[in-house]
Chain A
Amino acid sequence: MVGFLGPNGAGKTTTMRAIFGLTDLDGGSVRWNGRPIGSAERRRFGYMPEERGLYPSMLIAEELTYLGRLHGMSASDAAAATARWLERLAVADRAGDKVESLSHGNQQRVQLAAALVHDPEVLILDEPLAGLDPTGIDVIGQVLVEEARSGRCVLFSSHQLDQVEDLCESVTIIDRGRLVASGTVDDLTTAGAQRLAVRVEGDRDGRWAAGLSGVSVSQITGGEVRLVLGTAPSDAVLDAARAAGRVTKFDFERRRLSEVFRESVGA
């Protein structure tokens, strides 16, 4: 499962649309398994666009069956897959309702079912977690993990970096149309300068770290200061912290994905 990250306007949606031939390429090509993608390959892909797209007045089960058939399934196979996915996404009881009668979260589930109904080889999802409540995120996240474990390639974009870090094995980060970082989450978060997380009792604003040289402050949250070690040794940091008060935390930590993201895009 690959997280596809980038700031607003970086080109994530455009890239996904280009995979499905929905936008023109200024240059280059879209390839899968080393070959340019054609309509036969696209029929084996599943797509969930950023702006959700379903016929609002069509019955849910009929709509999913129709989409399955457009991908080459027989009527009976499409109907069976529709029932299976609605059950798995916990909206089976709404199969006979119109899409427009569903809540936002349930529409999102049906939209995911529409991307999965034809058992695609590759699943490409544009912001599948946007606007969902925690339960919805758990349900959809669990489905995505299970699908990835079953061998399906899942690529999804999101601004919810904590979820991406939890769900994805790899991430790709783009900025202004260019690739700026790519790799497994482990590689990206362990790479680069060492990180320290330090907490000094009674100093919720991390003032003790303000004058430190040879380090840069990455983040201050609830009294915990995250530091990126530069030329200064960790002992010097510990000494400065102890001079400010009782040290309640002093850990070497990996980069968070949010830090990888910010450093990659220069935010």
Chain B
Amino acid sequence: MLLVAAAGRLWRRRRRPGSRPPASRASKDRRNPFGETGLVAGREIRERLRGRVFRVVTALLFLAIAAIIVIPTLRTASAPRATVGVVDGSPALDDGLRALAHRVGLTVRLVVEPGLAEARTALRAGTLDVVVDATRAVLVDQALSATDTSARATFVREASLGLGAQGAYARAGLTSSQVAIIAGAKPLAIVSLQPAKKPATSSETTALLGVILNFIVLTQYLTWTLMGVMEEKASRVVEVLLATVRPLQLLAGKVLGIGLVAMAQAAALVAFALILGQAAGSSFVHGTAPLVAAATLVWLVLGYAFYSWVYAAAGSLGERQDQVQSMALPLSLPLILGYIVSLVGVSSGSPSTLVKVLAYLPPTAPFAMPALVGFGLVAWWQFVLSVLASLASTVVVAVYAARIYRRAVLRTGGRVRLSQLRRVPSATR
């Protein structure tokens, strides 16, 4: 709201004197306290909320967030289990397998199998997860991948190693006391020169989700802004509207209305995530995660405020809906750059210097700054500095975008080039 008001004031100051007589009550009617801008914003809000696309996308986002929060808690709540068939076993082997399973965090149920053929059949049928043939092999239905670090895969690998070693000891003719000494061997200590990389904290995970949320919401609503302006131009309704409202009022109302819907949707998603996370006992809501969520919303607002003017101006240059894609692509490049670099930085667990630089550039800060906040890599004054830089650049962008919009939105007959607008006098309303 403040940004819109500031941009409007700056714009009015820059208008040529005498280009338009002073309006009496033009911008605020007694029966309409929010003025024409408020009316335009209200229409945008009503139309967007009514749209099927909005409802479907919102429902999908809620479902995705619910899945992201709830599924990990389900996985941690239920320990991994396996049913292990044993061929030619012995009480000592059973004890050894149970001890191994306990060590790797696997709950096992041992089933004595009469022979290897029956065990294979049960394995293929899925009633057994693993078969241990005491002297020959450890069988699984599907080969284990090298990257599989699950408890079951660890159990299989260690059982294979252990039973193989047992056979080797026997063939070497070791006594039971010698075997016991070997079995009880303790590994040498592993000494690291640097501390281990810490696992992702809840705030880092929240930052990751925040970067993704900002990208999805910004992409969706900025495209709506572009298409909305283009639709008004293509349907010629803009001529009817501009016969009674100023171009900046129309532009600001559209930006504000769509922006409010975007913020409401994002705030609802974040609130839903925090409440659901609390209820499900998710780690996402612990520690500084709510603070990171708040920072994400702040940068969503700033990102939308910065880009919405640009997209609206671009929409005024187009004439047909099929031009949306070609016009949106170059505008989205800084968005995509900021998103990918920030996403990679967050995913790697250590944001790069590039992320730290992008956090101060208004086009990329909506992604890079929440990432840095999640990792605790910014001081409050750095955050404020980036916010101020974004606000200042938004005012400049808004003024120029409004100028382009005002000159282009009534020009019909094909896509308008920026070079054409330089020749247009700026005295029009």
Contact = CB atoms under 8 A, between A and B. Distances in A.
Interface of A: 17, 20-24, 36-40, 42-43, 45, 47, 49, 51-58, 62, 66-67, 69-74, 114
B238 A53 contact: yes
26 contacts: A20-B242, A20-B243, A22-B428, A24-B428, A38-B20, A38-B21, A38-B22, A38-B23, A39-B429, A40-B24, A40-B26, A42-B244, A49-B239, A49-B240, A51-B412, A52-B236, A53-B235, A53-B238, A53-B241, A55-B231, A55-B232, A55-B237, A67-B240, A70-B36, A70-B241, A74-B32
Q: On chain B, which size bracket covers the interface?
A: 35 or more
B76 to A, nearest CB: 47
A57 to B, nearest CB: 8
Contacts of A22: 239, 242-243, 410, 428-429
Nearest to B426: A24
A38 B21 CA distance: 5
Contacts of B239: 17, 22, 47, 49, 51, 53
Given A22-B410, A24-B427, A114-B240, A39 B26 contact: yes
B320 interface: no
Nearest to B47: A58
- Name the prevailing secondary structure of the A interface residues: loop
A73 B23 CA distance: 17
Interface string B32-46: 100010011001001
A66 B39 contact: yes
B23 A39 contact: yes
B23 A40 contact: yes
Interface of B: 20-26, 29, 31-32, 36, 39-40, 43, 46-47, 231-232, 235-246, 410, 412, 424-425, 427-429
A66 B235 CA distance: 17
Given A38-B20, A40-B23, A70-B245, A23 B236 contact: no
B20 A39 contact: yes
Closest 6 pairs between A and B when the two form their complex, measured CB to CB: A53-B236, A38-B21, A39-B26, A39-B23, A53-B237, A20-B243
A43 B241 CA distance: 11
Contacts of A42: 243-244
A67 B39 CA distance: 10
Contacts of A73: 31
A54 B39 CA distance: 16
A74 B235 contact: no
A40 B20 CA distance: 11
Nearest to B23: A39
A51 to B, nearest CB: 4
A21 B39 contact: no
